[in-house]
Amino acid sequence: MISLIKKLIKKKQRISFAESCTGGMLASTITSFSGSSKVFNLGIVTYSNQSKIKILKVNKNIIKKYGAVSPQCCKAMVVNLSKLSKTTINISVTGIAGPKGGSKKKPVGLVYIGIKKGNKTVIFKNFFRQKNRKNIQKAVVKKVFKIIFDILK
């Protein structure tokens, strides 16, 4: 994590998060390291659909049609976060950490990660096979920081 923070500082990049299934774990992880105040701008936990609609301005029709755990919702979260945060790198996370809440179509461990850097937005669909909620959340956080590190190369 220290190497990621140093890389963000060196490249003059600032980062913000809109989290759902990770419940603030991304923000908590980065801020547990010295120097994070130079790169971390904003962390929002929009756990409920209502908060996604009210705070992140996700169109309620997106949630109604596709659900909160969808690439469409993830994209709206990250695009609208970038408008709020004005940071160079924005990340959104929405998924099902379990142990309940999954279905055949959207199983426990399905997580969408949205990255917006400049004008480029990419949504990653992931299936995490960890056995419990906390381990799924930790795996998501690890994956997000790996993606950020990779896009800074």
Task: Dump pLDDT digits (tens) for 26-40.
Answer: 999 999 999 999 999
pLDDT at 146: 96
The domain limits of the chain are 2-151
Q: Model pTM greater than 0.95?
A: yes
Residue-wise pLDDT tens digits, 70-89: 999 999 999 999 999 999 99
pLDDT at 86: 94
Q: Calculate ∠ Cα 56-61-63, nearest 5°.
A: 65
Which stretches of the chain drop beneath a pLDDT of 70?
none
Q: Is residue 143 a contact partner of residue 113, using CB atoms and an 8 Å limit?
A: yes
**How far apart are alpha carbons 50 and 37 in whole angstroms?**
29
- Give the CA distances from residue 38 to residues 45, 49, 73, in Å, rounded to whole numbers and listed in that order: 21, 31, 29
Domain spanning 2-151 has what CATH number?
3.90.950.20
